[in-house]
Each structure stands twice: as C-alpha cells, then as structure tokens.
A and B are shown apart, each in its own frame.
Chain A
Amino acid sequence: MLSVEDLSISFGGLDALSGLSLEVTEREIFALIGPNGAGKSTVFNVVTGLYRPSRGRVTFRGDDLLALAPHEIARRGVGRTFQNTEVFRQLTAIDNVLVGRHAHLRSGVLRGAFGLASVRREEAEARELARRLLARLGLAEVADTEAGSLPLGYQKRLELARALAAEPRLLLLDEPAGGLNPTETQTLMKLIQRLRDESGLTLLLVEHDMELVMGISDRVAVLDYGRKIAEGKPREIAADPAVVEAYLGSGDGA
C-alpha cells in the first residue's frame, strides 16, 4: 500500500535517512521505533510531502507521492498527526474537526458567501459528522472549547479526530501516546485497533511507548541514525541483539 524505497535525505550534511526502505501493507499496524533523532519523524515528513528527499521513491496505492504537494497527498487518503500537537489553537474543537473535513466539502467562496441552501445542508451534515467523531473520541463536552486551551491529552485526541474526519486510508500517528497517562494509553490502543478492525485503516506509527508498540503492532521497524537496523514481528524485534544494542547502548531504556 505504502512503499518507501531507498530513501535518503540529509540536513546540512547530516544524514537524517540513508537508504531506507519500508513496505506497509493494507490493514496493517506498522510501528517505527528507534532512539531520538533516528529519523522517524523525518519519514513522516517525507511521506506527507513536507520534505523532499535527495534520493528514493515513495508510492502510495500507485501514486508517486514525491511528485505531489502536501494537500494533494492528504486528498489521496494519507492522514497524519504531529509529534508536537498542531491543533488550530484559536479554533474550537469542532471547527478543528471541520477543517479536517475540508476536502470532502464542496462549498466555495461564492456559494458560501450567499449562504445557499445547499451550503447550509452540507454544513449541517458536516457538523453532525464532526460531533459524532468528537463523541467517539470522548471530546463531546469540549466541542465548543478553543482547542488551544485544552489539556495535552485532549489535543492529541482532537488531532486524531481531525485526521479521521478526512476519512484517510493510511493514518500516520507521530507519538500518539506521548504525554498520555497509562489509562489514556490503554484507551488509545483499543481505539487504534478498532480503527484497523472496523474501519479498515492502515496505520503507521512512531512511538516510544513499548507497551503500546509491542501490544498492537503487526510489524515493527527499528531505525538508528537514519538506517533500518531491524524489522519484524514485535517478538522478534524484542529479542534482536542489534536492537538491544541500539537502545541499551545509547542509554535510552525501552
């Protein structure tokens, strides 16, 4: 479904990724792990079109993503959340979700300006859908609260709701459990599994929480200094000497 081949990118002479290849198949939960600075978020930023790699290919369902602008990639069904949450802070929670719905709505500036019946109907439907999504993520009671004043855990869920509003096929989650307490993490794990099982989503996640990674991933790839040092099922990864070395050797206990 998503295929990354021989990807290399460097920033100011520093190789952030070198020769990385990944193959994510449909309805899979695929985790990228590795010490800080290993290049995990860089993979996300290349796949979503924010960075242009110096070498390599990225294809998603037959489309060459490197030839597309970020909004075009989003419109082809690639959704994402951000490591340092990027909610629209001064917009209400529900408006955040409605922006997520942007590509599915038709009303342009002229039809919007005249407040035509078709626009009002479309708006009402979108609001209804946004409320359902907010409720599904336990955000119903803060629908009309400014996103920037919500606690971090709420903002993380709001980003997820916003991404889901676009009905993506592939969802990239950048440290979804970062800053969450154990209870919230448990709920998040169930939600991610439900998204795959019930909505047929494919998920690619970057995560430091090993309980989450080992608990729900089908496959795990380990990055270190921009290179893939291991890939396989969670159980195989946990026993891989190179992985243990990368983690324990760097003092970043997993």
Chain B
Amino acid sequence: MRRAALATGAVVVLGLPWAVPRYFVFLASLIVVNSIVAIGLNLLSGYTNQLSFGHAGFLAIGAYTGALLTIHAPALPVPAALLVAGLVTAAVGLALGIPCLRLEGLYLAMATLAFGFVVVEAILNLDWITRGNDGLRVPAARLGPIALATDTARYYLTVAVAALLILAALNIARTRTGRALLAVRESEIAAQASGVHLAAYKTLAFVLSAFYTGVAGGLFALVVGFLSPDSFDVFLSVDFVAMIIVGGLGSVPGSVLGAAVITTLNDSLAGFQNYRPLIFGAILIASMLFMPGGIASALRKLSVAGAAGYPGTAPPAAKPRQGDDP
C-alpha cells in the first residue's frame, strides 16, 4: 500500500514534464524549491518552536551565493555550487542563531523579521557585486556536458536535490538529533534532564534550517534565472510560515504539501493581487481553526479513521498491570 503510493508518486513526479505545458514545469520546480525551504523552516519552527519571519533572507543569501558562483566560476559543477550556497547560508544561520538563543516567541519573530530586512538592504548596498535594484541575470548552469538550459532539465535538478534533502530530513527526524529537537520543543527542562544540550540543539536547528534554505536559494536562482532584492521581501517569509502552518508543524511530508498548496495558490491568485492578502488570511485562519495540525495531521486522522479495528489513541484504563500482585 505504502510502497504503491510511493511508486505512483515517483512516476507522477518524474513523468510530469512530459505531460504538462512548460509553464507548469516551471511552477512545479518552484514548488519543489519551496518544499525544501518549508522543510528547513519546519526544522526550526516546527521541531524546536523557534518562529522565523526571516527565511526570505536566508533564501536570498543562498540564491545570490549560487548565482555569483555560476557567473564567476562557471567551471564549478552545480552540486558544488549548491553545497557552497548551503554552507554559506548555514554560517549566517549560526551567526544569527547564537544571539537568538536569548530570544523566544514574539521577540525571536521580530529579530528574524529584522534579519530579513537587513539582508535585502545588504544586497542593495553591495551593488558592485549584486547589481542592486538592477537585478542579476543568472546564466544556465552546467552539469558536466549538459547545460541546464531548459525548464525540464532544471526541474529534474531540483527534484534530485530535493529527494536527497527530504530523505536526509526524514532520517534526521527519526533518529537522535530529531528526537532531541522535538524534546526541546516539548519541555526544555525535561530535555536538559535527559542530557540534551539546549543551546547546542537550538543553534543546530538554526544552522540546519539555514542550510536547507540556502541550497533551496541556489536552486531558486537557477530556476527563476533572475534575482533582484524585491523577490525576497517579508511577504515571502510570511508565505514560508504559511506553508508549514497549512502543511503541518513538525512534519516533513506536511512541509512538502504546504509548499505545494501555498505556491499554487500564489500562482493562481497572481491576477488578483489586491485580494491576495484577504484570501491568504482567510485560508490561514481556517487552517488553524479546523486543521490545527495542518494537512499532514488531518490526513493521518483520516487514514486512522479509515483503518478498521484500530484501537484508537485512548490507552487502556488504569487497570492493574501484569505481574502486579498487591
């Protein structure tokens, strides 16, 4: 059942460029890029409860790093450029994460919001290298002999990178690191009492989150082909937060679903710019009211309700345990 679903999904994802018009291949690439950002943001906000309204800033750093490498070091293979974009952004994440250890909730949201503005200002002021408001045209990158000159080629690149990053996120989530991050979210004092180094894991969440978003930024530069500071405004950061709320906090598949929903909505509402905030707000409120765990948890509940004979989440009443002889 699960395998069949995965196989069907793989066929759909890989076959998509041959079945839909070119524009949708571009849109699908954008969804995949945003999925990576959503996973990164979820590692920070969903897993350790550190809310960020500055992820457009991380995306911009990754995007400009990737673009400048493609322009000035065309011999560098794409995977290496993406890795550097991720590492540079991760370093910035570390630098932001350490002072943010002292902040929580709204204060952290404000600090990350400010970070997003600072990044845009920095891009504007570094115009000798970023070309400021004129924008930066990103040439087609090369992967060995293949030029990634078509939407289809770029789509497959994003899918391959995303597949690796999703697998890694799932692996992290279900082993020691992922549990420690969740433990920090659930109870800081109990996590510490279990030997979890609070500051280290909160900072690690920032670094990981920035790395994912930086790699996504490198892909974003290649997919969109043109960068300017206004592509990375605060509304993009809010969109990322919307993705993980709609998709499901603390869920990797939820991040992907949320990215798909919000990116598609954004695209279909492009003609109604004035109503966009209204419609978005309504969707967010409805999602939090009726689907507090996001799409991921709603789907889980549906599948649980569908499976017959499931004992449910209610534990057996406090009956005497086995081997209990008072």
**Contact at A183–B326, with CB atoms within 8 Å?**
yes
A-contacting residues, B268-303, CB 8 Å: none
Say yes or no: is A227 at the interface (Cβ < 8 Å to chain B): no
User: What mask results when residues 115 to 135 of chain A are scored 1 for a CB within 8 Å of chain B, else 0?
Assistant: 100010001000000000000
A90 and B182 within 8 A (CB): yes
- Pick the interface stretch among A78-86, A210-218, A244-252: A78-86
Q: Is the CB of B326 within 8 A of A186?
A: yes
Q: Which of A14-53 contact B (CB under 8 A)?
A: 48-50
Name the contact of B176 in the complex, choosing from A48, A105, A142 (C-beta under 8 A). Answer: A105
Taking a contact as CB atoms under 8 Å apart, the answer to whether B171 and A115 are in contact is: yes
Q: Is the CB of A154 within 8 A of B318?
A: yes
Minimum CB–CB distance for B71 against chain A, Å: 30
Interface assignment of A66: CB less than 8 Å from any CB of chain B: no
Q: In chain A between 172 and 206, which residues have their CB closer than 8 angstroms to a CB of chain B?
A: 181, 183-184, 186-187
CB <8 Å contact, B175 and A119: yes
Q: Among the listed stretches A1-9, A57-65, A68-76, A233-241, which one makes contact with chain B, having 4 or more residues with CB under 8 Å of it?
A: A68-76
Q: Is A108 interfacial (CB-CB < 8 Å)?
A: yes
Is A79 touching B177 in the complex (CB atoms < 8 A)? Answer: no
Nearest A-chain residue to B186, judged by Cβ: A88
Among A100, A109, A141, point to the contact of B204 (Cβ < 8 A): A109
A232 at the interface (CB under 8 A from B): no
Which A residues touch B21, using CB under 8 A? Answer: none
A123–B175 CB distance below 8 A: yes
A222 at the interface (CB under 8 A from B): no
Is the beta-carbon distance between A74 and B168 smaller than 8 angstroms? no
B198 at the interface (CB under 8 A from A): yes
Taking a contact as CB atoms under 8 Å apart, the answer to whether A149 and B313 are in contact is: yes
Q: Are B190 and A87 in contact (CB under 8 A)?
A: yes
Asked whether A95 is an interface residue with its Cβ less than 8 Å from the other chain, the reply is yes
- For A89, what are the chain B residues with a Cβ–Cβ distance below 8 Å? 186-187
Least Cβ distance of A60 to chain B in Å? 14
| Known contacts A107-B175, A107-B176, A151 near B190 by CB under 8 Å | no
Is A187's CB under 8 angstroms from B318's CB?
A: no
Whether a CB of chain A sits under 8 angstroms from the CB of B196 is yes
Choice from A102, A183, A187 contacting B180 with Cβ under 8 Å: A102
- Counting from the closest, the 6 A-B pairs by CB-CB distance are A138-B321, A103-B195, A88-B186, A70-B192, A113-B168, A86-B190
Q: List 24 A-B contacts (CB under 8 A).
A: A48-B192, A49-B192, A69-B197, A70-B198, A74-B194, A80-B193, A86-B189, A86-B193, A88-B187, A89-B187, A91-B182, A95-B179, A95-B182, A99-B180, A99-B196, A102-B183, A102-B196, A112-B175, A142-B315, A145-B313, A145-B315, A149-B314, A166-B194, A183-B324
